[in-house]
Amino acid sequence: MIESLRSKSKELLENGTVSLVIGYAEGSKKGKTKPFFAYSSEDCDKLTFSPQCVNNLTIYLTRKFTFMKKGKVAIVAKGCDVKTINVLIQENQLKRDDVIILGMSCDGVVGKDIVHDGEQLPDENKSIKCLTCDVKTPIDYDHLFGEEIKSEALEPMTGGIYDAVKEVKAMSWSDRWKYWMDHFERCIKCYACKKVCPLCYCDVCITEKSRPQWIETSAHARGNYAWNIKRAMDLAGRCTFCGECDRSCPAEIPLNIINQELAMTVYDSFENYTAGYQTDVTPPFVSFKEEDKEDFIK
Amino acid sequence: MSVNQLSEDAFYNLIDDLNSKGTTVVAPVRNEVGMVQYEKVTSSKDNFAFDEVIGRYSPKDAFFPQHETVLRYREGENGVEVKAEEPEINDTVLLGIRPCDAAAMISLNKVFTWDYIDNLFTERRKKAVIISIACNEADESCYCTSVGFAPDGKEGSDLLFSKIKGGGYLAEALTDEGETFIANNSTCFSKKDKSVELEPIAEVTDLGVNIEHIKRWLDKKENFEHKVWDDLAAKCVGCGGCTFVCPTCHCFDLVDEPYGDQGKRVKNWDGCQFDHFTLHASGHNPREHQPQRWRNRFHCKFKIYPDRFEKKGCVGCGRCIRVCPVNLDITEAMIEITAMES
């Protein structure tokens, strides 16, 4: 799998199809890999793939990283990462022809702070997103690496994170409020959540707008609440559950729960819409229908 | 300076004693989501984590809080009334921080007393006693010995506690404040027992780097635009994780938070890794791309701090490595630059 990934990457660079291959290399510490940019055949020998490849590399396709792009690029993408590419295409941030997808068959990556050696990854060491994964073989790719893995038929919005969301939703209003305020209290406003999110691609973020200051820079209860709610709302109907914000949060705020709570709401309210599976439909929050079921919008 | 010892029980009694005297005690505790943080503790029954390698965040916020009010203003009949905030600053004991973090306090103090005396910082520091506990364990991100510090280093602490085999601590006073602390809490301390045997001190990975060589390389103008910055830091996503967990990062922003005809000016942590940190009002940004911002942080640690404050900017706590979502490891840059300069 790794050998064929390397040789295909070399071929694409050597024949000039792409100028850059975005992939993974061994990390600096045990059980870690890191994002890696291969510009030459020599670089390609460092490319790797394993359950430690947790990063969603599609962040490097967004406008935050335009400085490093020179023409067409190839990207190593797991099934979950390809869903992000689909949303970027759907939102006109990327053209399908701009990118060569090196799709990886993936049976799960490691969960946060888990150090795992070897190929076989038991469920308890997997990231929670992998427990309900239905894209073990990516839904779109130019080249596929590894054996095709059939995803089991899953009950939508059930198991894994969805059960965790339901637990929080079952709380009383006051308990839920306390649950979230206790978590948001720990926020240190490092903004790792937005910086690792491939769908947070605005040139200027609302957090940087100071006239007026929409989101207070203070890490106090109001400032933290405003930021966390705002970030989650912006991802409603867009988040593909790559889980990068949750993984990167140094304050251990369960961002997967709030993001997927919104995803479930969108699923229920917009004809079972789930982000990342189609590029040719209008996302629910930018569509308008005269027959909208809500009166306030008419 | 004196060397005493205290038993495990006396150690926890000390926490209760200090609290009963009205002293604020800040110590490592495991919070409800499993992170170890330095927090105000109120009883010897708190969820302590003195054996944790190091807390997730640095204890710098005891002196330099992430968020604090510096003044309040109100529009009155005679124009704008401004009132400086004068927070009540309590006697504080930082109990059980690590020697690297204590050393970092010296570097921080230099910044906050450089051209302007930041009273909020200096008053808190003056009213605090820093008690470090020597490290018996290090993880693979620790590298204090490679930047000139040690797991049982004494810089920046008033007292150094070292774990005794079988329980309790050896307490070495390092400053007059440390001596006074022992005198004021004498019931908890006893004379050093001659046969006392200490737990072995942690072995920290030696990176084989040379910070003088790194500095020399950084001093050369032609290296400012060296391709190594792009090679290493193109992947940096520009979050503030590394700067916010760093014990020597000290940048902050002053912002007004208005409410109608009144408001407050607050001092909030800021970080050089944010894209708008150097953004000018004109729209020009001298550090336009992320590798330039990352280069700045590296310069700050290994060149700016030594040049301007004659202090080390990096104490090797390893937090920036642990927290980085893209495994951007500062030690890789240190190793690479050392190799280029040697």
Percent over 70 (pLDDT), chain B: 100
CA distances (Å), B153 to each of A13, A147, B149, B285, B320, in order?
A: 50, 53, 6, 40, 20
Got the DSSP string for A28-55? SSTT-EEEEEE-SHHHHTT-B-STT---
Residue B132 has pLDDT above 70, yes or no: yes
Q: What is the residue-averaged pLDDT of chain A? A: 92
Rounded CA gap, A101 and B326, in Å? 21
Percent over 70 (pLDDT), chain A: 97
A152: distance to nearest CA of chain B, Å? 30
List the single residue in A30, A35, A219 with the smallest CB-CB distance to B67: A219
Encoded tokens for B163 = 């774990």
Which of A172, A160, A189 minimizes the C-alpha distance to A256? A160
- Say what the alpha-carbon torsion angle B323, B276, B335, B101 is, to the nearest 10 degrees: -50
B171: distance to nearest CA of chain A, Å? 33
Got the DSSP string for A140-188? S-SEEES---PPPP--TT-SHHHHHHHHHHTS-HHHHHHHHHHHHHT--
- For residues B135-161, give the mean pLDDT: 97
Q: What is the pLDDT of residue B43?
A: 85
Q: Which residues contact A33 (CB under 8 A, 6 or more apart)?
A: A24, A25, A26, A27, A48, A50, A52, A53, A54, A55, B327
Strands A33-38, A73-77: pairing is unpaired
Q: What is the residue-averaged pLDDT of chain B? A: 95
Q: What is the pLDDT of residue B58?
A: 97
Encoded tokens for B65 = 């809080």
Instruction: State how far Cα A180 lies from the chain centre.
Output: 22
Q: Contact B237/A27, CB-based, under 8 Å?
A: no
Q: What is the pLDDT of residue A71?
A: 82
**Residue B289 contacts A where some CB pair is shorter than 8 Å:** yes
pLDDT in tens, B19-40: 999 999 999 999 999 999 999 9
Q: What is the pLDDT of residue A189?
A: 94
Best mutation site among A63, A195, A210 for testing chain B: the one with the most B CBs within 10 Å? A195
**Residue B326 contacts A where some CB pair is shorter than 8 Å:** yes
DSSP H/E element including B70: strand B67-76
Q: What is the pLDDT of residue A119?
A: 67
With beta carbons less than 8 A apart as the criterion, state whether B306 and B215 touch.
Answer: yes
CA angle B23, B46, B157 (to 5 degrees): 50
Q: Contact B255/A219, CB-based, under 8 Å?
A: no
With beta carbons less than 8 A apart as the criterion, state whether B55 and B323 touch.
Answer: no
Provide the domain limits for residue B150.
3-341
Which residues, given as ranges, of chain A have pLDDT below 50? none
Q: Which residues contact B222 (CB under 8 A, 6 or more apart)?
A: none
Percent over 90 (pLDDT), chain B: 92
ipTM score for this prediction:
0.94
pLDDT in tens, B267-302: 999 999 999 899 998 989 999 999 999 999 999 999
Cis peptide before B247 (omega within 30 of 0): no
Total number of domains constituting chain B: 1
Which chain B residues in 5-24 lie under 8 Å from chain A, judged by CB atoms? none
Q: What is the pLDDT of residue A211?
A: 80
Tell me how far apart the 2 most distant CA atoms of chain B are, in Å. Answer: 73
pLDDT in tens, A206-249: 998 888 888 889 999 989 999 999 999 999 999 999 999 999 99
Q: Contact A55/B66, CB-based, under 8 Å?
A: no
Residues in chain A within 8 Å Cβ distance of B244: 188-190, 250
Instruction: State how far Cα A184 lies from the chain centre.
Output: 21
Q: What is the pLDDT of residue A69?
A: 63
CA distances (Å), A257 to each of A123, A169, A226, A239, in order?
A: 19, 10, 17, 12
